[in-house]
Amino acid sequence: MTRGTRQPPRPTAFLNARLIDPTSGYDGPGGLLVIDGEIADLGPDLGRSGLPADAIEINCNGHCLVPGLVDMRVQLREPGEEHKETIATASEAAAAGGITSMVTLPNSDPVIDQVAGVEFIARRARETKGTKVYCYGAVTRGLEGQHIVELGLLAENGALGFTDGTKAVASARVLRRAMSYASTFDLLILQHPEEPDLASGGVMNGGELATRLGLPGIPRDAEVMMIERDLHLVAMTGARYHVAHVSTADSVAAIRAAKARGLKVTCDTAPPYFILTEAEVGDYRTFAKLSPPLRGESDRAAIAQAVADGTIDAIASDHAPHDQESKRVPFAHAEFGIVGLETLLPLSLELVHQGRLPMIELIRRLSTRPADILRLPQGRLAKGAPADLLLFDPEAKAVIEVDRFRSKSKNSPFDGRPVKGHVLRTLVDGRTVYEAYA
Amino acid sequence: MTRSTERPAPLSFRHRHLLGIDGLTRDEISGLLDLSESYIDRMRQKEKGSLLLGRTVMNLFFENSTRTRTSFELAAKRLGADVVNMQVQASSIKKGETLLDTAITLNAMHPDVLVVRHPDSGAVNLLSQKVDCAVINAGDGTHEHPTQALLDALTIRRRRGRLEGLIVAICGDILHSRVARSNIHLLTTMGATVRVIAPPTLLPAAIEKLGVKAFTDMRKGLEGADIVMMLRLQTERMQGSYVPSIREYFRFFGLDYDKLGAAKPDALIMHPGPMNRGVEIDSEVADDIGRSAIREQVEMGVAVRMACLDLLTRSLRDNLGS
């Protein structure tokens, strides 16, 4: 082992920061000390009684120092579609976006439905040495909706939860068995909430615009129907259930009621659903083709409200990189999804700048809650916690420019959008994985 | 060549392409119809003009349509243009990039006008962004078919003298009909009252927001109608559980003299063709010379397409002249 001979990294002290930690509820001035990849000390008085003699001191100039973002839903395209994204490029993009942990969906090629797939992701993540990368396992073999995978074994090897990715588990019988089995090990089941038969063939939100454009629509009800069915299964099985990317007001209402009934249900959304509407599709803009589709204004407002009041637990990037060839085609043939790693923070900050929720609550949605749901130790500023940190300036003005994305793919409807919020530094286990040039 | 001064100029037309009726103003539509009117006589005299001499019109059809393609071909030839017909196999366009590859290839051939039909909504818009010439939408997916709506409007205007104030009932597969969409945009813009009649399975979501009234009872929908516009029911819809059977469809939504009785006594019957006799329309009604304008629609198609080609190539000629 050469490790013992290597010089240990020097302690680093972040001083003059605005510390924000949703777990303790602290939002105020202070400093934070990192030793050996962990948070060794923190608080308003850090440094007054002295720091380790060899500590590197970093002046944060009053900027926000928060737990690094935990992105609970990304598609990394590796293995299988490395021309769109790799774990390395996604990791670089994530670091630039302040994301210190991310979880990839199992819809790669091959599908992550075996232990070898989970191990592959873990190995590639180790080699990349950037952002922490985890994965979900498929619920069903080959995402075919028929036979449940070895949930226990996959979880033992590191799968954080189970989902058929961008496809719903359509069969109530199969999902009931998956939930029932998963509850034995207290595993998390995540669902893409869309009744596939009702949504079949649809390419955008069903409504006036789809009619005008002559495009087949996906009814809003396809989402809440699937959620309500699943909630019955949750009640039957007692499983831990998470609804991915909620996009309609009715879905929010159903989840709110289920939480009030004490069901173990959580959910997330992504920035496009509280910022954009279907109007973005405009003249067949495929960059606005998402799954679930962008909805109308009343749904958008309901999603923003549900993020603010906590019904929506987490905000994920829903990163879905696609190359030009997958998007520069007639709308019906274009792939669903947009890239999101580098825009997650500034877009989410719009809720804070609009006065809809305090900064500490936004950090809870972006970091602490997803970490809780995934049962990861990060997502908090506490002694002994991993030093996964994000330093950012919430007021810095910027313009989203896709050409500057580190992600291999550039499919974003937010290109050219003025935003406020700039990542200054990202640390994973105390290592700086991204640093903005002043 | 001196004839060109006789052509009435549309009041305004600020578009490079004709991709749809949605977005055109009342003046632009009127101008196009007036210009079409001026071409009717010349079309009937089979006179070959020289307006587009030396110009190339390409008919690019990704979907079979002998009637529309022939109509465009005749229109272009009667204006003296060279016409190239390209029929692209549907299978080769499954991969979307082929469309842009095609655009690049075509661009290198320098056509002046591209007439495009494509099975995907929006595909013609996409293509128009990638070529330097003018593009006419000859039907894209279930989106628009602007020249069909213009020829329908021209037919109505010639028979009734106006569009404003008329009650037009469009009956049949509204959900999948680009003809219906273009007609809805055109007729509502021109001040007509438009009703759509279909079983609920063939009515698109929020269709009323396009300014029409929807009916699922044909007699109620036809009540007092000046114009009855029937649409073709594709046979695959009958297999797709949109309607239970042909005979059920014909019983409730097929046009026969009985149902037609609800419309005005002199109501004009129209159909974009080709007709499914005994499915959406009774043969007797379709062939009723006194009431059916179906043959005239086909004739007006050539005049309308001549007008569109004329209008979209004006800037080319102006530039050449200067």
> Does the B17-144+299-314 domain belong in CATH 3.40.50.970?
no
Q: Would you state the structure tokens that stand for residue A36, as one six-digit string?
A: 């050996």
Cis ω before B274 (30° cut-off from 0): yes
The ipTM assigned to this model is 0.88
pLDDT at B3: 41
| pTM greater than 0.90 (yes/no) | yes
Domain assignment present for A321: yes
Q: Are residues A38 and A127 in the same domain?
A: no
Domain assignment present for A1: no
Residue A98 domain boundaries: 68-378
Q: Are residues A316 and A413 in the same domain?
A: no
pLDDT at B90: 57
Domain assignment present for A6: no
Distance separating alpha carbons of residues B195 and B213, to the nearest angstrom: 5
Q: How many other C-beta atoms lie within 10 A of the C-beta of residue B75?
A: 27
pLDDT at B198: 97
Q: What is the dihedral of CA A79, A80, A84, A85, to 10 degrees?
A: 0
A322 labeled part of a ligand binding site: yes
In the set A318, A388, A393, A429, the catalytic residue is: A318
Going by pLDDT thresholds of 50, 70 and 90, the confidence category of residue B44 is confident
- For B:191-230, CB contacts with A below 8 A are 204-207, 209-210
Q: Which of A214, A219, A334 sits opposite B142 (nearest CB)?
A: A214
pLDDT at B93: 56
Going by pLDDT thresholds of 50, 70 and 90, the confidence category of residue B86 is confident
Q: Pick from B148, B143, B151: which is nearest to B175 by CA? A: B143
pLDDT at A341: 97
Q: How many other C-beta atoms lie within 10 A of the C-beta of residue B123?
A: 26
Measured in angstroms, the CA of B169 and the nearest CA of chain A are apart by: 18
Q: What is the dihedral of CA A101, A107, A111, A117, to 10 degrees?
A: 0
Distance separating alpha carbons of residues A73 and A86, to the nearest angstrom: 15
Does B140 touch chain A if contact means CB atoms closer than 8 Å? yes
Q: Would you state the structure tokens that stand for residue A261, as one six-digit string?
A: 């009934």
Going by pLDDT thresholds of 50, 70 and 90, the confidence category of residue B2 is very low
CB contact under 8 A, B141 and A332: yes
Q: What is the pLDDT along chain A (438 residues), one digit of tens a residue?
A: 444 456 678 999 999 999 999 999 999 999 999 999 999 999 999 977 788 989 999 999 999 999 999 999 999 999 999 999 999 999 999 999 999 999 999 999 999 999 999 999 999 999 998 999 999 999 999 999 999 999 999 999 999 999 999 999 999 999 999 999 999 999 999 999 999 999 999 999 999 999 999 999 999 999 999 999 999 999 999 999 999 999 999 999 999 999 999 999 999 999 999 999 999 999 999 999 999 999 999 999 999 999 999 999 999 999 999 998 899 899 999 999 999 999 999 999 999 999 999 999 999 999 999 999 999 999 999 999 999 999 999 999 999 999 999 999 999 999 999 999 999 999 999 999 999 975
Enumerate the residues of chain B whose CB falls inside 8 A of the CB of residue A207. Answer: 205-206
CB contact under 8 A, A214 and B143: yes
| Domains identified in chain A, total number | 2
Q: Are residues A366 and A400 in the same domain?
A: no
- For chain B, give every residue range classified as CATH 3.40.50.1370: 17-144+299-314, 146-297
Q: How far is CA A152 from CA A107, A139, A156, A178, A181, in A?
A: 19, 11, 6, 11, 9
* Domain finish residue from A378, A407, A422: A378
Q: Are residues A249 and A266 in the same domain?
A: yes
- For B212-261, write each residue's pLDDT tens digit: 999 999 999 999 999 999 999 987 777 668 998 888 999 999 999 999 99
CB contact under 8 A, B121 and A330: yes
**Which one-letter amino acid corresponds to residue A330?**
P
Q: Which phi and psi angles does A151 have, rounded to 5°?
A: -55, -45
Distance separating alpha carbons of residues A366 and A356, to the nearest angstrom: 15
Asked if residue B322 has pLDDT above 50, the reply is no
Q: Are residues A309 and A404 in the same domain?
A: no
Does B97 touch chain A if contact means CB atoms closer than 8 Å? yes
- For B:4-23, CB contacts with A below 8 A are 22
Pairing of strands A418-428, A389-399: antiparallel
Q: Which residues are bridge partners to A269 per DSSP?
A: A315
A318: annotated active-site residue: yes
| Helix segments in A189-238, DSSP class H | 196-199, 208-213, 221-237
Q: Are residues A280 and A408 in the same domain?
A: no
pLDDT at A47: 77
- The residue among A198, A205, A211 with the most chain B CBs within 10 A of its CB, best to mutate, is A211
Q: Are residues A154 and A219 in the same domain?
A: yes
Asked if residue B7 has pLDDT above 70, the reply is no
Q: Which of A206, A214, A330 sits opposite B126 (nearest CB)?
A: A330
How many beta-carbon contacts under 8 Å exist across A and B? 77
Distance separating alpha carbons of residues A122 and A70, to the nearest angstrom: 17
Minimal-distance CA residue of chain B relative to A325: B97
CB A178 within 8 A of CB A140: yes
Domain assignment present for A80: yes
CB contact under 8 A, A208 and B122: no
Class of domain B146-297: alpha beta
Q: How far apart are the first and last CA of chain B?
A: 16
Cis ω before A8 (30° cut-off from 0): no
- For B258-306, write each residue's pLDDT tens digit: 999 999 999 999 999 899 999 999 999 999 989 999 999 999 999 999 9
Enumerate the residues of chain B whose CB falls inside 8 A of the CB of residue A332. Answer: 120-122, 141
pLDDT at B244: 86
Measured in angstroms, the CA of A225 and the nearest CA of chain B are apart by: 18
Measured in angstroms, the CA of B288 and the nearest CA of chain A are apart by: 33
Q: Are residues A212 and A318 in the same domain?
A: yes
Q: How far is CA B95 from CA A30, A343, B104, in A?
A: 56, 30, 15
Distance separating alpha carbons of residues A388 and B199, to the nearest angstrom: 59
CATH number for the domain spanning A403: value is 2.30.40.10
Minimal-distance CA residue of chain B relative to A335: B96
Q: Are residues A119 and A170 in the same domain?
A: yes
Q: How far is CA B182 from CA B71, B134, B143, B157, in A?
A: 18, 19, 8, 16
Measured in angstroms, the CA of B141 and the nearest CA of chain A are apart by: 7
pLDDT at B103: 83
Asked if residue B9 has pLDDT above 60, the reply is no
Angle of helix B294-312 versus helix B66-78 axis, rounded to 10: 50
Binding positions of B are 67-68, 95, 117, 145, 148, 178, 232, 273-274
Q: Are residues A152 and A220 in the same domain?
A: yes
Domain assignment present for A2: no
Going by pLDDT thresholds of 50, 70 and 90, the confidence category of residue B152 is very high
Average pLDDT, chain B: 90
Q: Pick from A426, A96, A107: which is nearest to A244 by CA? A: A107
The answer for residues whose C-beta is within 8 angstroms of residue A164's C-beta and 6 or more apart is A106, A107, A138, A139, A140, A143, A145, A192
Distance separating alpha carbons of residues B301 and B151, to the nearest angstrom: 5
pLDDT at B5: 42
Q: Which of A213, A325, A328 sits opposite B122 (nearest CB)?
A: A213
Q: Are residues A219 and A296 in the same domain?
A: yes
CB contact under 8 A, B125 and A284: yes
pLDDT at B319: 65
Binding positions of B for L-aspartate are 95, 178, 232
pLDDT at B10: 53
Q: Are residues A367 and A411 in the same domain?
A: no
- For B183-205, write each residue's pLDDT tens digit: 999 999 999 999 999 999 999 99
